Amino acid sequence: MTDHKKLKAWVKKCAALCRPDKIVWIDGSAAQRARLEKESIAAGEIHRLNRKKLPGCFLHRTAINDVARTEGLTFICTPTKKDAGPTNNWMAPDKAYEKAGDIFRGSMKGRTMYVIPFSMGPVGSPFSKIGIELTDSIYVVLNMLIMTRAGDKVLKQLGTNGEFTKCLHSKADLDINRRLIMHFPQDNTIWSVGSGYGGNVLLGKKCLALRVASYQANQEGWMAEHMLIMGIEEPDGRIQYIAAAFPSACGKTNLAMMLPPKGLKKKGYKIWTVGDDIAWMRVDSDGRLWAINPESGFFGVAPGTNSKTNPNAMATVNRNTIFTNVLLKPDNTIWWEDGDESAPPEGIDWRGVPWKPGMVDDEGKTIKGAHPNSRFTAPAKQCPTISYRLEHHHGVPISAIIFGGRRAHVAPLVYEAFNWEHGVYVGATMASERTAAQFGKQGEVRRDPMAMLPFCGYNMARYFRHWLDMEKKLDKAPKIFHVNWFRQDKDGKFLWPGFGENLRILEWVLDRCNDKAGARKTPIGFVPNPTDIDMTGLKLSNDKMRELLLVDKKEWKQELKGQKEFLSRFEKDLPQGIKRQYLLLKKRLGV
């Protein structure tokens, strides 16, 4: 097992609190995984899917009230409220340990506690971090085995006194009133209790790789970001990498795995997927920003994923995948809305209830077969476009950073920030319409700086300052862009086809980085002229293109008000650079 005294003492302490019947250390072997799968099937926690059509695949259903991240129950437990900042829920550490401790107490009686040693990032990379998750859920173990590098090799790397994040999880009784997701960045500790939903319980992901890591990154001078990483290879073999931040369920997975559109195919581009959700970035000895994807799997949204929107994801999830909250078909395969097939005549819905297409609830609303936030957990290495550099300890150099949101209006298809400081302002003020990945009213516009609003483990004003400060460390800072694939016309129709066609915009982005493409200067940044984007093989009227690239001063003056209101939440802590950029934008808009 391990000779790490602190680790053993901590496991013992947690066991004394949770009182499991048994403790099992996860070794990462196929044999142990197979045993756990059997046990989990017997307990009714997972269901084995059609072995022929979906080999190695399982279905899991969460509790009905446990289908998305619960931001209202997620806390940053720093010594002072100010350390957590105005955008986080805060609880004093003592109180948080006590409150969650009451729920953890005895919660694992009659259950097994699994000890999962996991590495975020390739095992042994100087940029990786090790965590140990204790959990009473085999579903969590099986997911962690996909999403992280886990098992004995990590313990070996940890040695006898290596640092690790202490992650404690118990389903407890899955009662929403006894559910808490607590982060103690100063203690390098995460406590999650009362939930079984991925984002709340796969503690390496949002909790460690974003909330705790963002705090550590600020201390240590690097960046932990909610970003996909992808490579774009030109026919001469040169690959340039971009990192892009979009709020949850805004298409990061689709973009990271895109196929070049027909019209651009002859240019010979190839896309490489490095990551679809999280980027850890730091300045390397060449003065450039380098990124690793700390994960080894994808935890993607199923509905809307199909052979048109994301053929590579479809090819990834046809084996060794855990599906959560999708519809079960009579042939023991699965289905979700806006997938490849039309609805089956019958099935068992995500709640475990018999389902037929067109069924409505008491209010007359269509009952979905799969939950809108239903997910697949799939090994990254199964993705046909996975980059060989996923396992490289140094990761990939980043040429451009892209921010994006889901905005029906205001934000043009793409624009480039004037400089790093302006780019940080663009990221700090970005906004998006709410999706199914969060509880709350869908469609509502919320400011989501750098797509990190729910994931920043410390005061966001300080996070902005950290972003601004990174420029000083960089000899060659990536250029910063903003995209919006979701702009609509007057009738509410999307103007841009999206998906593979987005490569046309990435091409412009990279051409701008290489001083090869034109643009016009607008008050909000450099915007391409319609002729600056290669539209070969894509029919889109000039009017549509003009509308997509429009910067409407009236709308932007309104937008400026929203930005000001949001930024005012940070009061005196707002860094000078952000204030300056606000004033410059105001001036450029003639306000």
Residue 199 interacts with, from Mn ion, ligand OXD, none (CB under 5-8 Å by kind): ligand OXD
Residue 217 Cβ vs ligand OXD, minimum distance, rounded to whole Å = 18
| Residue 248 binds ligand OXD, judged by CB under 6 A | yes
Strands (E), 68-186: 74-76, 89-90, 112-120, 129-135, 149-150, 165-170, 180-184
- Buried/exposed code over 479-501 (b: 16+ C-beta within 10 A; e: otherwise): bbbbbbbbbeeeeeeebbebbbb
Rounded to an integer, what distance in angstroms lies between the CA atom of residue 508 and that of residue 76?
A: 39
Query: What is the β-pairing status of strands 189-193 and 165-170?
Result: parallel
CA angle centred on 529, ends 528 and 531, rounded to 5°: 115
Give the relative orientation of helices 138-147 and 30-42 as an angle to the nearest 10 degrees.
Answer: 140
| Residue 437 binds ligand OXD, judged by CB under 6 A | yes
Number of residues this chain uses to bind ligand OXD (CB under 6 A): 6
Rg (CA), the chain: 23
Out of 248, 316, 324, 438, name the contact with Mn ion by CB under 5 A: 248
Residue 193 Cβ vs Mn ion, minimum distance, rounded to whole Å = 22
Out of 83, 225, 276, 277, name the contact with Mn ion by CB under 5 A: 277
Number of residues this chain uses to bind Mn ion (CB under 5 A): 2
| Residue 246 binds ligand OXD, judged by CB under 6 A | no
Rounded to an integer, what distance in angstroms lies between the CA atom of residue 335 and that of residue 397?
A: 38
Residue 412 interacts with, from ligand OXD, Mn ion, none (CB under 5-8 Å by kind): none
Q: Using CB under 6 A as the criterion, what x/- string covers residues 160-199 for binding ligand OXD?
A: ---------------------------------------x
Which contiguous run of DSSP H or E holds residue 130? strand 129-135
Q: Which residues are catalytically annotated?
A: 250
| Residue 69 binds ligand OXD, judged by CB under 6 A | yes
| Residue 277 binds ligand OXD, judged by CB under 6 A | yes
* Distant-in-sequence, close-in-space partners of 220: CB < 8 Å, separation ≥ 6: none
Residue 373 Cβ vs ligand OXD, minimum distance, rounded to whole Å = 8
Residue 437 interacts with, from Mn ion, ligand OXD, none (CB under 5-8 Å by kind): ligand OXD
CA angle centred on 341, ends 498 and 270, rounded to 5°: 40
| Residue 433 binds ligand OXD, judged by CB under 6 A | no
Closest C-alpha to 389, from 483, 228, 514, 273: 273
Q: What token pair was written down for 118?
A: 């996991």
When CB distances to ligand OXD are compared, the closest residue is 248
| Residue 148 binds Mn ion, judged by CB under 5 A | no
| Residue 299 binds ligand OXD, judged by CB under 6 A | yes
Look at the chain and count its residues. Answer: 591
Of the pair 277, 559, the CB lying nearest Mn ion is at: 277
* Distant-in-sequence, close-in-space partners of 575: CB < 8 Å, separation ≥ 6: 461, 464, 465, 468
Rounded to an integer, what distance in angstroms lies between the CA atom of residue 100 and that of residue 472?
A: 41
Residue 277 Cβ vs ligand OXD, minimum distance, rounded to whole Å = 5
Of the pair 131, 300, the CB lying nearest Mn ion is at: 300
Rounded to an integer, what distance in angstroms lies between the CA atom of residue 397 and that of residue 284?
A: 9
Q: Using CB under 6 A as the criterion, what x/- string covers residues 521-540 for binding ligand OXD?
A: --------------------
Options 131-139, 146-154, 241-249, 461-469: segment touching Mn ion (CB under 5 A): 241-249
Residue 483 Cβ vs ligand OXD, minimum distance, rounded to whole Å = 18
DSSP per position, 147-159 = HSEESHHHHHHHT
Query: What is the β-pairing status of strands 279-283 and 270-275?
Result: unpaired
Question: Tokens 């068992």 correspond to what residue?
Answer: 348
| Residue 253 binds Mn ion, judged by CB under 5 A | no
Options 151-159, 209-217, 276-284, 316-324: segment touching Mn ion (CB under 5 A): 276-284
Q: Using CB under 6 A as the criterion, what x/- string covers residues 198-217 for binding ligand OXD?
A: -x------------------
At 20, is the secondary structure helix, strand, or coil? coil
Which residues sit at the interface with ligand OXD, rule CB under 6 A? 69, 199, 248, 277, 299, 437
Catalog residues that contact Mn ion under the rule CB under 5 A. Answer: 248, 277
